[in-house]
Structure 1
């Protein structure tokens, strides 16, 4: 699973699978700036059998960005 993240803005990434944007990874913060969690989500509401692995739901939540990267098979953040 060659996933990659491309930074859009602070706390926001496009999620690419084999070079195609298929989702996003975003940081949710409180009004005072505390990070609540990170979300990895698909752009399309695909039926369960058509979702790319490891997605079992349209959206998954994580405590840290590192957890997201590991869950995506050690996805890399592109530097461009």
Structure 2
């Protein structure tokens, strides 16, 4: 499962699967600035059997970007340059 995270801006990535944008990964910054978390989400609300692995839900939350990268099978990160 060749996922790639394409950096758009600080804390914001397009999520590509085999070169096609199918979701996003963003850092949530709460108003009080307390705990920052990350979320990976699909663009389309696909039925469970049509979701690409490892997605079991439309959105998943993580404590760090490293956790997201690992969950996506060590996804490559490409910077917008």
Q: Give the TM-score range, shorter chain.
A: over 0.9
Q: Distance in 1 between matches of 2:31 and 2:55?
A: 29
TM-score (norm 1): 0.94
State yes or no: 1:20 paired with 2:20: yes
TM-score (norm 2): 0.92
The CA RMSD over aligned residues, in Å, is: 1.1
Number of aligned residue pairs: 80
C-alpha displacement of 1:59: 0.1
- In the TM superposition, structure 1's runs of 4+ consecutive aligned residues that sit over 4 Å from their partners are none
Higher strand share: 1
Unaligned 5+ segments in structure 2 are none
Unaligned 5+ segments in structure 1 are none
